Amino acid sequence: MASYKYVFGDAEKIEQLFPPPKFADASLGFHDYTDVIKHYTKNSLKADGIDIREAEVTRADGKYYIRLESTGEQHVLETFGNRHAMVFSKDYAQKAIRGMELMKELKVWNPMDGYHVNDSQTDGTSKWHLFPSLGLNVMNQKGILLLHYPPWAVVQLGTFENAITFRRWEQLLTCAGIESKDSSFYKTFMEVSPIAAPGSGESEYPNDYFPIMMASGFFDGGPDRDYIRSMLELFLNPPGWPEDRKYTLPLLICGSPLYDPQSPGWFRTAYTDVLPQDENGVPEVNVMQTGTFKVFPHSQRETPYLISNHMIAAGVTGKCTNDPSTIPDIRQYEAQDMVSATFLKIYSDNPDISPQDAKSQACQRWFGNAGGTGAPKPANENDQLTLCALAQMDLFFEPDPPRPKYTFEEAWQRCKTATDPGNPCCGNIEPVGN
């Protein structure tokens, strides 16, 4: 039996990074912070594929301690525990606290506190709490997804697993050829605004309470609050990453120009010197753009990146149009999203491939050309049906609870038997009134 006990961190700091038990759904049975920390720790262990017999969280002498027991190997527990404590240390997640403190000093923290910002009865009134990617991978991630901010529903349910974005992304990973048992290694999210808040109503214009400048000003500043870059540097270089590896893990920078573009927007302000420019000298962060950058100037390795849509953008703004070569056409959305998922799969198989070659391979599969331009035309019939099935799932959506009307298998069958097989926008399967 393997066992490992470690100091998780200073209690006063840790309790600012984890949501208080009162915010969680009563079914989770949280009574105090030890319950909250234990829950998210077990979620991280599961995401990393580590079987645990026991996880115990205690508080003593102003600190939290975690003890793990497993039938697995001792070094695995020690690696997880040491990395887990590091993630929430003063050099990494705790830097978000300084950003929050500065926002409160300037009186820009939760300007709609106590008021509704959307129609969701579940979200209730606007509430903000620091939330630095709790319950996700600590050591076995295969790539990182950079998004905007975590929705309040994650705090209530204690997991990302039931979030629409998370479920759709898992479907894309499966379609890219990643086995279901390995999908958790590709679902490591980070946010440029590490603040849980209502899932809609905080970032949609005219209610932009989480603008790009918020991330740049409060979570990407001096050494005491460079939260975003510090966390990226840590998560892109997991324990045991070979010294001779050319690149870090790959990074998807997620935000459609039509939906939640703040993550690519932050990237543009942070790395203007390495980005391509248009004819007017404007640094570009276009979907499907790829390249490399260093998180810090002193970083040992470059990071391959791909600008991607937000994982739920297709379902929110996608539709059938007369031009499948550009969004918001649903066919363009699906092909671009499959390129992103395939990009991560390619890097898992070949970690030293250039981002341009990885993108070219992914685009060749889903667009039928190396540049990912024009209307998607996969050479493989099954890939054509896959894009169509994903589009059907995004076009036909049930609101309560939010979910696709069709399973992937049902959508696939609709596409296969359509009057124009593989075309989600043809006569007998096109949404009425689209």
CA–CA dist 433, 419 (Å, integer): 18
No. of H helices and E strands in the chain? 14, 12
Fold of 123-362: Uracil-DNA Glycosylase, subunit E (3.40.470)
3-state secondary structure of 219: coil
> The domain at 1-89 falls in which architecture?
2-Layer Sandwich (3.30)
Q: What pLDDT sits at residue 211?
A: 87
| pLDDT, tens digit, 9 for 90 and up, residues 258-314 | 998 999 999 999 999 999 999 999 999 999 999 999 999 999 999 999 999 999 999
Task: With beta carbons less than 8 A apart as the criterion, state whether 360 and 370 touch.
Answer: yes
Where are the extended beta strands (E) located within 255-353? 290-293, 303-308
Written as tens digits, the pLDDT of the chain (434 aa) is 899 999 999 999 999 999 999 999 999 999 999 999 999 999 999 999 999 999 999 999 999 999 999 998 999 999 999 999 999 999 999 999 999 999 999 999 999 999 988 887 778 888 999 999 899 999 999 999 999 999 898 999 999 887 888 899 999 999 999 999 999 999 999 999 999 998 765 666 566 788 888 999 999 999 999 999 999 999 999 999 999 999 999 999 999 889 989 999 999 999 999 999 999 999 999 999 999 999 999 999 999 999 999 999 999 999 999 999 999 999 999 999 999 999 999 999 999 999 999 999 999 999 999 999 999 999 999 999 999 999 999 999 888 778 899 999 999 999 999 999 999 999 899 998 65
Two structure tokens written together for 16: 């600012």
Name the residue with tokens 């006569």.
427
Enumerate the domain spans of the chain: 1-89, 123-362, 380-434
**Burial of 21: CB neighbours in 10 Å, binned 0-12, 13-18, 19+:** middle
Name the residue among 206, 226, 343 with its Cα closest to residue 288.
Answer: 343
| pLDDT, tens digit, 9 for 90 and up, residues 375-390 | 999 999 999 999 999 9
Q: What is the DSSP string of 46-94?
A: HHTT---SEEEEEEETTEEEEEEEESS-HHHHHHHHHHHHHHTSTTTTT
Q: HSE-up of 362 (CA within 13 Å, CB side)?
A: 31
